[in-house]
Amino acid sequence: MLGLAQAAPAPAPAEKPEPPTPASIVAGAPGSDWRSIPAGDLLVMDLAGSRRVVIQLAPAPFAAGWTANIRRLAASHWWDGTAVVRVQDNYVVQWGDPTEKKPLPPGIEPVAESAYVTPLDMIADARPSIGAQDLPEASARAKRLSDIAIRGTVTQAAPEGWHERDSYAEWVEVLDSWPLAADRTNAWMPHCYGMVGVGRNLSPDTGTGAELYTVIGQAPRHLDRNIAIVGRVIAGMEHLSSLRRGTGDLGFYKTPAERTPIVRVRLASDLPASQRPAFEYLATDSDSFAAYVAARANRRDAFFNLPAGGVDICNLPVPVRAVK
């Protein structure tokens, strides 16, 4: 079957084994390299038609004000009966209250714009175990994000082939399974495919968390540091990305009938045990993850003629899998 990647390549001669693929590295990772995601961090959104979307909320200290609001909104069943209201191609899918008049539950607090970014020293204090960072040729090195703050020009320290600076940040990193971009003072979660952000009005509004969106195209990184990122879709992304595009301004649907109803949104920890999904991610300080990044940056399996020599932070999805 003609493909971009070979579904079932002919077996290689025994003396020349096929180099690993990102998928084969993930499939072969030992159980000890996987970490459970707490049920209290999983936001479960059930759309009409038995379509389930699962969002992992960002861990503290990132976006803590908004994720606190989101937990309250879910606990009060606020999203039940709301809808997906906007689908703009190569940009975002957005959901919330179409009337924009539904009262919010008690305890929803505004968050300051300063919280769009997180100081590096706060991250280092809160999360002393930092994810491994890959070198393209393989071996992982542990590195504290706080190191960034004391470097001069970080690009000069970047090894050949792994370009830590990109068009939007002085540094990119995967930290405890989350993509991060940073300057010398602060870090923020970049707008990669599947990341979830908080819709807002003009500054100084920062959004409450009631109106959410996810990225369905090329990473719109110009939104970084301008909107809060609060999590990422880890299952059911296809139920959002394949929705019919809206034909109104900014991809909003013109008629209510076009919207996709949201039946309910709950934290997994608030669901009955029999309905509670569970997930785990490949630990980003594991050798498996280092090998995975190396393979993403330099594909050497049979389909590829030329390894890229680098990888964009948004072309490096962290492996997540459902647990039975």
- Tell the smallest beta-carbon distance from residue 90 to a copy of itself (Å): 5
Interacting positions 155-184 with a copy of itself (CB under 8 A) = 155, 162-163, 165-168
**29 touching a copy of itself, by CB under 8 A:** no
End-to-end CA distance of the chain: give it in Å, rounded.
Answer: 32
Could you please report the per-residue DSSP string of 109-130? ----GGGGSEEHHHHHHH--SP
273 binds a copy of itself (CB under 8 A): no
Residues 6+ apart with CB under 8 A from 53: 44, 45, 46, 47, 233, 235, 236, 237, 239, 240
Q: Among residue numbers 93 through 112, which ones bind a copy of itself (CB under 8 A)?
A: 94, 96, 100
Nearer to a copy of itself among residue 4 and residue 273 (C-beta): 4
> Contact region for a copy of itself (CB under 8 A) — 13-21, 54-62, 235-243, 269-277?
235-243
Choice between 109 and 238, CB closer to a copy of itself:
238
- Name which of residues 131 to 160 contact a copy of itself (CB under 8 A): 155
Per the DSSP assignment, residues forming a β-bridge with 45 are: 53, 265
Q: Which of residues 33-72 bind a copy of itself (CB under 8 A)?
A: none
Tell me whether residue 40 or residue 309 sits nearer to a copy of itself (CB atom): 309
Residues 318 and 284: beta-carbon distance below 8 Å: yes
Q: Using H for helix, E for strand and C for coil, what is the string for 239-299?
A: HHHCCCCCCCHHHECCCHHHCEEEEEEEEHHHCCHHHCCCEEEECCCCHHHHHHHHHHHCC
321 binds a copy of itself (CB under 8 A): no
**Contact with a copy of itself (CB under 8 A) among 250, 254, 256, 275:** 250
Q: Is 3 in the site for a copy of itself (CB under 8 A)?
A: yes
CB proximity list for 266: less than 8 A, separation 6 or greater: 43, 44, 74, 77
Least distance from a copy of itself to the Cβ atom of residue 241, Å? 6
Residue 206, CB-side half-sphere exposure with 13 Å CA sphere: 20
Residue 41 φ/ψ region, left for φ over 0, alpha for ψ in the -120 to 50 degree band, beta for the rest? alpha
Answer whether 231's CB lies under 8 Å from 57's CB.
yes
Task: Report the residue number, 33 or 260, with the smaller CB distance to a copy of itself.
Answer: 260
What DSSP character marks residue 90?
T
**Which of 185, 304, 322, 323: binder of a copy of itself (CB under 8 A)?**
304
Compute the least distance from the CB of residue 139 to a copy of itself, in Å. 19
Map the footprint of a copy of itself across residues 72-91, applying CB under 8 A: 86-87, 89-91
What count of residues does the chain have? 324
Give the contact letters, 197-216, x = binds to a copy of itself (CB under 8 A), - = no.
Answer: x-xxxxx---x---x-x--x
Please count the residues of this chain forming the interface with a copy of itself, following the rule CB under 8 A: 77
Residue entry with tokens 């647990």: 323
d(CA 157, CA 272): 50
Least separation in angstroms between residue 303's CB and a copy of itself is 6
When the beta carbons of 9 and 81 are compared against a copy of itself, the nearer one is 9
Identified binder of a copy of itself from the candidate list 109, 141, 315, 323, rule CB under 8 A? 315
Q: Is 310 in the site for a copy of itself (CB under 8 A)?
A: yes
